Amino acid sequence: MNDRDRFVDQVSQKTNIKKEDIFKLAQDLQTKDLNNENDLRSFIYRIASMTNKKVDDKTVNRLIMMIKNKQVPQDFDKMI
């Protein structure tokens, strides 16, 4: 099993999202304009819906600003 598979397995276990759906999300993200607030907002709400999490507007706005300002952590192992 390679690093990518291990990472996806960890994300799947933590979020209860099927591996196939994680790959679909990744594919969808590749078609999004990360500078477009509407694209980011819809993607964030989609993930929240899939994980059965409620995300308030303040959190969504903060996430959008982090993404637009490239303040997203690069070490994904620490995130999961």
| 22-58 pLDDT per residue, tens | 999 889 988 988 889 999 999 999 999 998 999 999 9
pTM for the complete prediction? 0.76
pLDDT interval class at 79 (50, 70, 90): low
Q: CA-based angle 29:6:46, to the nearest 5?
A: 30
CA angle 53, 23, 3 (to 5 degrees): 105
Residues 22, 12 contacting (CB under 8 angstroms): yes
DSSP for residue 74 = S
d(CA 71, CA 63): 9
Distance CA(24)–CA(21), nearest Å, equals 5
